[in-house]
Amino acid sequence: MKKSFVILLIALLVILPIFANGVSEEANEAKTENASETVIWGPNTFGENVKYDPDVEINNGEPITLDYWIWTDDALFTSIMEDYSAVHPNVTINVISNPYTDYWTKLPLMLKGDKGPALFNIHNAFEDNFMNYAAAYDIDINEIKADFDRVEAHEKNGKVNYIDIGLMTSSVYYNKDLWTAAGLTDADIPTTWDEFREVAKKLTIWDGNKLVQAGLNINGCVATDIIMGLNYQKGQTMFSKDGKTCILDNDVEKENLQMAYDWYNVDKVGSEDFGDNGFDSFGQGLSAMTLGWGWRGRYIEYFFPEMNFDVFQIPTFDDNPVGIDRVNAEACFGVNKNASPEQQAVAQDVVRFYLANDTLQKRFNTYMNTYPTKKSIQEDADILSVKACNVLAQNADQYVYPGAMPQTVEDNCNICAQNIFYNGMSIEAALKICQDTINDDLLGTDFVAVENQFVNSDKFTY
Name the residues that contact other proteins, by CB under 8 A.
Answer: 1, 4-5, 8, 16, 19-20, 22, 24-25, 72, 97-102, 105-106, 108-110, 112-113, 128-132, 272-277, 280, 283-284, 303, 408, 411, 415-416, 418-419, 421-425, 430, 441, 444
Closest approach, Cβ 349 to other proteins, in A, equals: 27
Q: In angstroms, how far is the first alpha carbon of the chain from the final one? A: 74
Q: Which is nearer to other proteins, 310 or 436 (CB)?
A: 436
Shortest Cβ distance from residue 177 to other proteins (Å)?
16
Q: How far is the CB of 447 from other proteins (least distance, A)?
A: 12
Q: What does the radius of gyration of the chain's CA atoms come to, in whole angstroms?
A: 24
Question: Is the distance from CB of 375 to CB of 49 less than 8 angstroms?
Answer: no
Q: Closer to other proteins by CB, 258 or 414: give it.
A: 414
Nearer to other proteins among residue 376 and residue 418 (C-beta): 418
Q: Judged by CB, which is closer to other proteins: 47, or 285?
A: 285
User: Residue 330 forms beta bridges with which residues?
Assistant: 166
For residue 407, which of 168, 228, 284, 249 has the smallest C-alpha distance? Answer: 228
* Buried/exposed 60-93: b ≥16 CB within 10 Å, e otherwise: eeeebebbbbbbebbbbbbbbbebbeebbeebeb
Closest separation in Å from C-beta 104 to other proteins: 9
The nearest distance, CB 126 to other proteins, in angstroms, is: 9
Contacts of 219 (CB under 8 A, 6+ apart): 270, 272, 274, 275, 276, 277, 278, 281
Residue 461 one-letter amino acid:
T
Name the residue nearer to other proteins (CB basis): 382 or 440. Answer: 440
| Nearest by Cα to 175 from 196, 198, 205, 203 | 203
- Is residue 165 within a helix (H) or strand (E), and if so which, with residue range? strand 164-175
Which lies closer to other proteins via its Cβ, residue 274 or residue 364? 274
* Residue from 412, 434, 410, 414 nearest 422 by CA: 414
In DSSP terms, 93 is beta-bridged to: 66
Query: How many whole angstroms separate alpha carbon 237 and alpha carbon 239?
Result: 6
Residues shown for the chain: 462
In the complex, least distance from residue 287 CB atom to other proteins, rounded to whole angstroms: 12
If the CB atoms of residues 8 and 35 are measured against other proteins, the closer one turns out to be 8
- The answer to whether the Cα torsion of 379, 381, 383, 384 is positive or negative is positive
Helix (H) / strand (E) containing 134: strand 134-135
- Which of 83, 79, 82, 81 shows the shortest CA–CA distance to 40? 83
Q: Which is nearer to other proteins, 111 or 383 (CB)?
A: 111
Nearer to other proteins by Cβ, of 78 and 313: the residue is 78
Cβ of residue 284: shortest distance to other proteins, in angstroms?
6
CB of 129 to other proteins, least distance (A): 5
**Residue type present at position 129:** N
Closest to other proteins by CB, 165 or 300: 300
What DSSP string describes 367-402?
HHT-EESBGGGTT-HHHHTSHHHHHHHHSGGGSB--
Q: How far is the CB of 430 from other proteins (least distance, A)?
A: 8
DSSP at 1: -
Shortest separation between residue 222's beta carbon and other proteins, angstroms:
12
Q: Which secondary-structure segment (H or E) carries 293? A: strand 287-293
What is the amino acid identity at position 15? Answer: I
